Amino acid sequence: MTGIVITGGAGFLGSRLARELLAAGPLAVAGGEPRPLRRLALVDQAPVPPDLAGHERVTAIEGDLGDLLAAGAEVLAGADVIFHLAAAVSGECEADFDLGMRANLRATELLLAACRALGTDPVVVYSSSLAVFGGSGDHPLPDVVEDHTLPNPQSSYGVQKFIGEQLLADYTRKGFLRGRAVRLPTVSVRPGRPNAAASGFLSGIIREPLAGQRAVCPVGAQTAAAIGSPARATAGLLCAATSSAQAWGGRSAVTLPALTVTVADMLAALERAAGPAARSLIDWVPDPEVARLVASWPARIRADRAARLGLAPDPDFGSVIRQYLAETR
């Protein structure tokens, strides 16, 4: 029997992952023999969605992750796999440096120390980000980011995520746990309400018009981004948990494949899906700080290592919109 913990388990990606785990049947942790899911603990400051809260195999633990771990709460008890998704998002971290350090760095340090204390060598899947990459005068961002491209984060969020990757790698080297870091692209289209992520508009300019609501685009139409649908992001996280050590291939993070699109491409796909009236709901309101952050992130990815694991990008943005519509209507 397998015990799993998801930090950030009430969030859209955490709750989606939880539902897939509950529906999937036995899980082959790190390439081992498939075993049924015994317990799924969802840790979050927000309440867990009702369908998950009422599930017989789900335990909801509400509270700040750092506070729970610092107080010695048994949030990781019986965990064979920990998906660490809880984080403050990019825009929040730029606006409130202390929040980012507390939520993204100190909470991760406490989590890894707690995993070590378990003494059971759990698999820890850490959700990192393409924000670990960036360009500067002494280290320009290449046109295409590859597996060997060196991180050079240009935001507090990116720095915090990269430090988390390195801590995870060292805990793995020391044999305290089996760490798997996954660099996610911008996930779009996110359901629900807008959040404070600098990349949030890349969902909002689709989600809100499809609901007949106006949306603000803070960047130019030719701004390019690396996009992954929620389904592809979840597949990458599950792959990290189930791949054998040999297949995973080392301690460094795996960059997930991503679809490169411009804002203009996204809006053209929106118009094809919902007509010109939907596209007309976009308000162009430039935000230099959001534009700076988005421009610092890579837009073109060559993810050979992920491809060897059987992961692939979404074929086109129209398919991403169709997936969103199928799941929300």
Residue positions annotated with a catalytic role: 157
Is residue 10 a contact partner of residue 46, using CB atoms and an 8 Å limit?
yes
Look at residues 229, 233, 237 and name the one whose alpha carbon lies nearest to residue 202.
229
Q: In angstroms, rounded to a whole number, what is the distance separating the alpha carbons of residues 217 and 213?
A: 13
- Residue ranges of E strands in the chain: 2-7, 37-44, 58-62, 81-84, 123-129, 178-184, 186-187, 215-217, 224-228, 254-255, 259-262, 282-284
Nearest to 296 by CA among 288, 306, 304, 305: 288
Residue keyed to tokens 């771990």? 69
Three-state SS string over 223-259 comes to CEEEEECHHHHHHHHHHHHHCCHHHHCCCCCEECCCE
CA–CA separation, 215 and 285 (whole Å) = 10
Spatial distance between the Cα atoms of 115 and 253, rounded to a whole number of angstroms: 19
User: Rounded to whole angstroms, how far apart are CA atoms 181 and 124?
Assistant: 8
What's the Cα-to-Cα distance from 326 to each of 200, 267, 272, 297, rounded to whole Å? 21, 19, 16, 29
- Which residues are CB-contacts of 78 (< 8 A; sequence separation ≥ 6)? 3, 38, 39
> Which tokens go with 159?
């720095």
Query: For 194, what's the count of Cα atoms within 13 Å in the CB-facing half-sphere?
Result: 20
